[in-house]
Amino acid sequence: MIIRDNGEKLVELDPNEFVLEPVYFKLGHTDIDKMYLREGASIKLRLARQNLRKTEGCEKWNLKIWDGFRTLKTQKILYNDYYKVLKQKHPDWSNERLREGVEVFVCKPSYDPLSPSYHNTGGTVDLTLVDENNDEIPMGTSFDEFTKRAFVNYFAGKDDPESVELHKNRMLLQKIMQEAGFINYKEEWWHFSYGTKEWAEKTGAGFAIYGSVEL
């Protein structure tokens, strides 16, 4: 997939608009305490917020953002940390199997401008829904729970009341984000992209409009 970067700058997300919780700053994986997206992606995010508040019963709800633009340095830290976790959990796994396991949930930091890491483009965002008290709407897992329960459709088809409610909540997040122009990564209910290579492939856009911000 071709990348024709449109040159949009990163813009800071406004804490007066969204609930911002820079998780990786709090964990010490980055010294950047602000949240950024490309300008176009931030506009789409505002549209998603509007879509949410047009939904019956969600008029005072909001989006909580955990991560947006991510440096390659932080991406490398996250990748290596999860690799160590899996290696400790599965000491019999080969390096290749460990890498495959890691990359289901954590993208390998890419220094190839033709194949940039998702978050390094400034077009990918990790987020959830919160109610009028800024309490998170139940989604079935915490952010960055790297298990099959994080797969978007994990609760689909289950008929117990809790699973039905969790699936409904995930589908609401999917709906408002997709209607705003984002695409989802099916292994992580919280992960959405706009303008990236993955977005272009899924939407048939023909080319990506965001490459790496750093490369």
Q: What is the CATH number of the domain that holds 152?
A: 3.30.1380.10
What pLDDT score was predicted for residue 175? 98
Give the total number of structural domains in the chain. Answer: 1
Average pLDDT over residues 184-207: 97
Residue 114 near residue 37, CB atoms below 8 Å:
no
Element (H, E) at 197: helix 197-203
Structural domain including 162 reads: 2-69+125-206
pLDDT tens string 38-60 = 999 999 999 999 999 999 999 99
> Could you tell me if residue 28 is inside a domain?
yes
> Could you tell me if residue 212 is inside a domain?
no
pTM value? 0.96
> Could you tell me if residue 175 is inside a domain?
yes
Element (H, E) at 101: helix 95-102
